[in-house]
Amino acid sequence: MTLWSRISEILSALANGEGLGQVFDRLRTPPERSVAFTIAVIALGAKMAKADGTVTRDEVAAFREVFTIPPAETRNAARVFNLARQDVAGFEDYAARIARMFRGQDHMLADLLEGLFHIAVADGDYHPDEDRFLLRVAEIFGLQGRCFRSLRARFVPDAVPDPYTVLGVAPDAPYAEIRAAWRNAVRDSHPDRMLARGVPAEAVKLAERRLVAINHAWEEIQAERVP
C-alpha cells in the first residue's frame, strides 16, 4: 500500500466520526511513522496557515514543495488540509499529540518542524504570528532552544543567517567541536538516514535545502578561522 493510499484509508475512518487527534493517537507504531509524519505536517501546516489570518495559494502550493504529491492524490492531501482547518481542536492539542507520537525521536520532530518553516516562508513573508506559532510548537516538541534558532536562522527571509546558529554551536566553540557538529548535521541529513527514521520518501527533498545551508555555514566558519 502506498503512502497516499494509506492516507486515503485513514480519511475514510475520519468520515466515520474520528477526528485527526484520534488519528495521531493511533499512528504511533513504527510502520506508520511515514504516514503520521505526512499527516502531521499537513495538519499543523493548515493550522499555521491561519495564524497570519490568510491562506494563500503559495502556502498551499508549499505542500507540493515539501511532498511529492501525485496528481491523483491531490484531493486526499487537500482533504487533510481542510479537515485540520475546520477542526475545532487547537494547534496546541495537535502538537501535543504529535509530540507523544514521536516521543524520544527528536530528529523526527525536527524534520517536521523544518517542513513547517518551509511552508511558513512559502509566500515570501514570515509573519509575527507564524513566528509565535512555530515557537510554541517547538516548545511543545521540546525543541525551543538551539534547534529552533538554527531553523529560524536558515528560513527567515531578509536575514543573514549566522553560521554558528545554523550549525547550533556557540561562536567561541572549539574548531573541532564545530567540525563535529557540521559532520553530524550532514550525516543526519542524508536521505537514507531520514528514510530510516520515518520521513517519507516524498519529503526527503527537505534535506536538499538543509545541506546547502549547513555546508555554506561550515564554509563561512572555515574562511573565518583558517588562516
Confidence at residue 178, expressed as pLDDT on a 0 to 100 scale: 94
Distances, alpha carbon 198 to alpha carbons 8, 90, 142, 193, in Å = 19, 25, 19, 9
Domain ranges of the chain: 3-225
- Averages of pLDDT over each 10 residues, the chain, 227 residues: 75 70 69 79 82 56 71 76 74 88 87 88 81 94 89 80 88 92 91 83 78 91 80
Confidence at residue 78, expressed as pLDDT on a 0 to 100 scale: 76
Gap between the Cα atoms of 191 and 119, Å rounded: 20
Confidence at residue 221, expressed as pLDDT on a 0 to 100 scale: 93
How open is the CA angle 19-25-31, to the nearest 5 degrees?
A: 115
Confidence at residue 82, expressed as pLDDT on a 0 to 100 scale: 76
Instruction: Please answer whether residues 59 and 49 qualify as being in contact, where contact means their C-beta atoms are separated by less than 8 angstroms.
Output: yes
